[in-house]
C-alpha cells in the first residue's frame, strides 16, 4: 500500500500537527484488526464482532474535536456524554452495514484506497503534493495512541460509500413519480374542525351520559353539509368551529393530532372541493372530531417547471435514505448487540 503511495509522491517534507489531522478524520470511525500489546478491552460487540476501547476513543476524539471546532471551543461540557452516545451508535451502525458489505461481496481496490489517502489535505505539502513520510508518521501515531489501523478505517469508509451508492442506485424515480410527490408535498389544505368532548356535553347538560356523544357526533355529521343545519347544530350544542390551515400533508398532526390513526389522516387529506366532508366523525382520545375541507390549493405549474430538476434529485436522495433506514432496521432486528454496562459511567 505504502509502496504504491510512494510512487505518486513528489516531496518528503515533514510537518505534522496531530490536532489538525484529527479534524480531518472527524467522520472516519475505525475497525481494529492488528495484533499488539495494548489492552483489548471491548466497549460493545455486534454479532460477536468487538468494538474495542481504542476504536471508541479514536472515534470519540475525532467527533469531539469536530464539535469543538464547530462551537469555537465553547461547547458545553455536558455535551460530551451526548457525543459518547453518538459515537457508539455510529460504530454499531457501521458494524451492521459491514455485515451487508460481506453478504454482497463488496470490495475496494488498493488503487481506490490510495486515491482517497492522497486526497486528504493535511497529508499534502505546501506545494500541494502528497507526502508519504507524513502519512507514515500519521499511521504510526494513530496506531500507538489508539491501536487502530488507519488504512483499514479508510477502506471501510469507502465500503460504506459503496452501500450508500447502492441505495442511491436502487432509489430510481421517474419524472411522473417525482411530480406526484411534489404535488402531494406542496398542496395546501384549510379545514374547519369541530371537536366534540363528551365530558363537556355532560357538564353542560346537553346529553345525559358520555355514551350519548356518539349520537351527537352522528347528528352533526349528517347535517354538516347543509349550512343552515350546521349553524343550528353548532348553536344548539355550543360547539365552536375552528379553522386550521393552510397545512400540508407533512403537517397533518396539526389537524387530528398524534393519536389519530394513519387511515384517518389519509382520509382527511383525500378530501376535495367536490367531496369536502370526512365520511364519518373521527374518534380520537375519547373525543369525536368532525372535519370539513374549506380550501385546497395546488402548487403552481410554472414553479414546478423551475424546481423539477433539483426536486427530483432531493426526492431520490430521500428515497435512498428511507431505504437505508429500512436496511438498518432489518439488520438491527437480526443482530446480537451487546454494550459494556460501564461505558457511560466515566469520561473516555
Instruction: Kindly report the length of the chain.
Output: 348
Residue for grid cell 369525536: 288
Question: If we measure between CA atoms, which residue out of 99, 97, 79, 75 comes closest to residue 87?
Answer: 79
Tell me what percent of the residues of the chain surpass a pLDDT of 90. 35
Q: Is the pLDDT of residue 317 over 80?
A: yes
What is the full DSSP assignment across 110-160?
HHHHHHHHHT-GGGB-TTS-B-HHHHHHHHHHHHHHH---HHHHHHHHHHH
| Structural contact between residues 65 and 23, judged by C-beta atoms closer than 8 angstroms | yes
pTM over 0.85: no
Looking only at the bridges linking them, the beta strands covering 287-297 and 42-46 are unpaired
pLDDT tens per residue across span 287-315: 899 999 999 999 989 989 998 899 998 99
Q: Is the pLDDT of residue 339 over 70?
A: yes
Helix (H) or strand (E) holding 43: strand 42-46
Per-residue pLDDT at 230: 84
| Average pLDDT of span 1-9 | 36
| Average pLDDT of span 5-21 | 30
CA dihedral defined by 64, 70, 73, 75, rounded to 10 degrees?
-70
Confidence class of residue 61 from pLDDT cuts 50, 70 and 90? very high
Amino acid at each position: 500500500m505504502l509502496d504504491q503511495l510512494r510512487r505518486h509522491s513528489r516531496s518528503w517534507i515533514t510537518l505534522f500537527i496531530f490536532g489538525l489531522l484529527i479534524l480531518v478524520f472527524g467522520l472516519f470511525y475505525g475497525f481494529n484488526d492488528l495484533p499488539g500489546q495494548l489492552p483489548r478491552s471491548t466497549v460493545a460487540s455486534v454479532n460477536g464482532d468487538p468494538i474495542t476501547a481504542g476504536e471508541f476513543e479514536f472515534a470519540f476524539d475525532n467527533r469531539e474535536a469536530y464539535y469543538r471546532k464547530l462551537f469555537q471551543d465553547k461547547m458545553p461540557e455536558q455535551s460530551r456524554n451526548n457525543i459518547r452516545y453518538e459515537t457508539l451508535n455510529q460504530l454499531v451502525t457501521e458494524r451492521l452495514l459491514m455485515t451487508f458489505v460481506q453478504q454482497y461481496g463488496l470490495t475496494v481496490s488498493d488503487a481506490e484506497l490510495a486515491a482517497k489517502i492522497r486526497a486528504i489535505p493535511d497529508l499534502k505539502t505546501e506545494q500541494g503534493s502528497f507526502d508519504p513520510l507524513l502519512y507514515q508518521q500519521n499511521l504510526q501515531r494513530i496506531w500507538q495512541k489508539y491501536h487502530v489501523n488507519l488504512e483499514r478505517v479508510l477502506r471501510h469508509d469507502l465500503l460504506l460509500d459503496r452501500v450508500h451508492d447502492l441505495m442511491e442506485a436502487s432509489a430510481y424515480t421517474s419524472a411522473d413519480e417525482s411530480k406526484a410527490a411534489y404535488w402531494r408535498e406542496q398542496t395546501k389544505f384549510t379545514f374547519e374542525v369541530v371537536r366534540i368532548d363528551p365530558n363537556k356535553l355532560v357538564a353542560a347538560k346537553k346529553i345525559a351520559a358520555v355514551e350519548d356523544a356518539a349520537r351527537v357526533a352522528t347528528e352533526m355529521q349528517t347535517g354538516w353539509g347543509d349550512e343552515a343545519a350546521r349553524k343550528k347544530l353548532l348553536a344548539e350544542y355550543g360547539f365552536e368551529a375552528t379553522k386550521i390551515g393552510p397545512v400540508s400533508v407533512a403537517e397533518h398532526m396539526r389537524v387530528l393530532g398524534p393519536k389519530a390513526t394513519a387511515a384517518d389522516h389519509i382520509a382527511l387529506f383525500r378530501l376535495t372541493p367536490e367531496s369536502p366532508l370526512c365520511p364519518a366523525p373521527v374518534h380520537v382520545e375519547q373525543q369525536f372530531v368532525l372535519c370539513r375541507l374549506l380550501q385546497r390549493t395546488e402548487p403552481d405549474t410554472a414553479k414546478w417547471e423551475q424546481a423539477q430538476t433539483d426536486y427530483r434529485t432531493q426526492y431520490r436522495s430521500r428515497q435512498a435514505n428511507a431505504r437505508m433506514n429500512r436496511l438498518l432496521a432489518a439488520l438491527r432486528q437480526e443482530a446480537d448487540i451487546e454494550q459494556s454496562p460501564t461505558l457511560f459511567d466515566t469520561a473516555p
